[in-house]
Amino acid sequence: MKRVPRLRSLAAAALLVLSAASATAAPPASGTDSTFQIPVEFRKLPNGLKVVLSRDTTAPVAVVAVYYNIGFRIEPKDRTGFAHLFEHMMFQGSQNLGKMEFIKLVQSNGGILNGSTRFDFTNYFEVVPAHALETALWAEADRMKGLAINADNLKNQQEVVKNEVRVNVLNRPYGGFPWLDLPQYANANWYNAHNFYGDLKDLDAATLEDVSQFFKTFYAPNNAALVVVGDFDPAATNAWIDKYFSAIPASKLPANHIFPISGVQRNFPDVVPPCSRTPSSLHHGHALEGLLEVRSMPRFSLVGFVQQSKHKSCCVHTTLLRHSHPENAVHPITSWA
C-alpha cells in the first residue's frame, strides 16, 4: 500500500489551525488543571499480543492499528525486500476474506486504510466510524490467523513490488539515494547495509515456503502490538479483542530477532565536501564515521532523518546531534535531498 501525501498535508494544516487557535485561546481559569493528558491503557494477552487503548470521544471515529516487529533491517538474509513484499501480501486475502476484500470491507464502512514497511516494524491501520470498530478488529484478527498464501498471489505481488522499485527508485533521477545508496555506504553489517527495497533477483527468488514461514514466524501475536484509539467503549473493545485475538497461537521467534548483530564500523574522511546540486554531492552525503552499526534506535535514527528530509534546496547539518549526544561519535553530515 502507498502512503497518502494529501492526508499528511491535511493533518499538517489541521495542526497549524489548532496551534493558532490555542495561541489565541483564553488562559484557563484559576485553579483548573491545564495539563495536557492522553489516557492510555496497556495490557498483554496470554499469547503475547500487546494491547494499547487510548480513548478520545472528540469525534465518532476509531482507529485500529497493528504493528509487527519485522522491518527492512531484520528481514532474512538473501531475501532483500522481503518485509516490503510481505506488506503487499497482507492485502491478498485471509481465512474469511477473499482477495482485496479487506480493503472493500473497510471502505464500504466509510473507512480508510493503509500500511507501510519501516526499518524495524511493519504497520497496518484502519480509520473507521466508531460503530464499525468491531468489524475492523475482526478483519485484522482474521489475517493475523492466516493469509491466502498461494502461487497466484505471490507472483502477482512480486511483479507489483518489482514495478514499484522500478518506478520509485531505479527509473528516477537520483531516486536510489536514500534506498539503495545511503544505508549501504554508511554501514558495514548486512542488517543496516543491504538494499531495503529489494534486489529484483531476491524478489524473484521468494518461494511459497519462504512466504509461509515468514508469516508463521513474524506475523504472530507475540511479535505484534494492537492499538485502538478514538471513540470506543473500553469494556466492549477489550471483550472484542479477547474474542478475536486471544485464540491466535504465539510463534517461536528467532533468538537474535531484536538485536542480531553489533560492533562493526566503517570509517570515512573527517572533512565533508560542501553541499552542491551535483550528482556527486549525493555520495558525499554518506561521509559518516563509525556510524550506526549497533541496532540502537537513537543512532540509526540519524540515517532515517537524512532519508526523510524533504528540503529541496538546503544542506542537512547534524553537528547539533554530535554536540547533544557525543556518545554517538557522529561527524557532521552534509547531504542534499
What is residue 131's predicted lDDT score, i.e. its pLDDT? 97
pLDDT score at 281: 33
The answer to whether residue 10 is domain-embedded is no
> Do 164 and 267 belong to one domain?
no
Question: Is 24 within the bounds of a domain?
Answer: no
Amino acid letter, 316: V
Q: Is residue 115 domain-shared with residue 181, that is, in the same domain?
A: yes
Q: What are phi and psi of 15, to 5 degrees?
A: -65, -40
d(CA 301, CA 308): 10
Give yes or no: residues 84 and 208 share one domain: yes
| pLDDT computed for residue 330 by the predictor | 35
* Calpha distance 116→122 (Å, rounded): 6
Residue 2: inside a domain:
no
Q: Is residue 7 part of a domain?
A: no
The mean per-residue pLDDT over the stretch 10-31 comes to 47
Angle at 76 between CA 266 and CA 174, to 5 degrees: 55
The whole domain housing 117 covers 36-245
Confirm if 167 and 161 have CB atoms less than 8 A apart. Answer: no
**Is residue 18 a part of any domain in this protein?**
no
Cβ atoms of 100 and 156 within 8 Å: the answer is no
Provide the residue type at 24 as one letter: T
Residues in a beta bridge with 128: 62
Tell me if 4 is assigned to some domain.
Answer: no
CATH assignment at residue 164: 3.30.830.10
Q: How far apart are CA 67 and CA 40, in angstroms?
A: 17
Q: Nearest to residue 43, comparing CAs of 56, 52, 34?
A: 52
Instruction: Look up residue 14 and give its three cell numbers.
Output: 489541521
Q: Is 135's pLDDT higher than 50?
A: yes
| Strand, coil or helix: 301 | helix
Confidence label for 262 from pLDDT (cuts 50, 70 and 90): very low
User: Which pLDDT score is estimated for 276?
Assistant: 36
Strand pairing report for 224-230 and 50-55: parallel
Rounded distance, CA 277 to CA 337, Å? 9
Does one domain contain both 236 and 269? no
Question: Both 142 and 283 in a single domain?
Answer: no
Between 24-33, 81-90, 96-105, 209-218, the lowest mean confidence (pLDDT) is in 24-33
DSSP for 187-212 reads --SHHHHS-SS--HHHHHH--HHHHH
Greater model confidence, 100 or 183: 100
| pLDDT exceeds 60 at position 13 | no
- How many angstroms separate the CA atoms of 105 and 132, rounded? 10
Residues 143 and 71 in one domain: yes
CA atoms within 13 A on the CB side of 223: 26
My answer on whether 206 and 271 are in the same domain is: no
Asked whether residue 185 falls in the same domain as residue 142, the answer is yes
Amino acid at 185: Y
Q: Mean pLDDT, to the nearest integer, of 18-44?
A: 66
Residues 266 and 291 sit within 8 Å (Cβ to Cβ): yes
- In degrees rounded to 5, what are phi and psi of residue 5? -55, -35
Over range 16-43, report the average pLDDT: 63
* Number of domains within the chain: 2
Q: Based on the fold, state whether residues 231 and 322 are members of the same structural domain.
A: no
Domain boundary among 245, 274, 307: 245
pLDDT digits (tens, 9 = 90+) for 67-84: 999 988 888 777 788 889
pLDDT at 39 over 70: yes
Note whether 215 and 149 are within 8 A (CB): yes
Looking at the fold, whether 180 and 70 belong to one and the same domain comes out as yes
- Asked, for residue 29, whether it belongs to a domain, the answer is no
Query: How would DSSP label each residue in 19-39?
Result: HHHHHHSPPPPTT--------
Q: What is the pLDDT of residue 314?
A: 36
DSSP 308-324: H---SS-B---HHHHHH
The answer to whether residues 127 and 238 belong to one domain is yes
Report yes or no on 60 lying in a domain: yes
Residue where a domain stops, chosen among 216, 245, 274: 245
Domain boundary, last residue among 194, 218, 245: 245
**279 and 233 inside one domain:** no
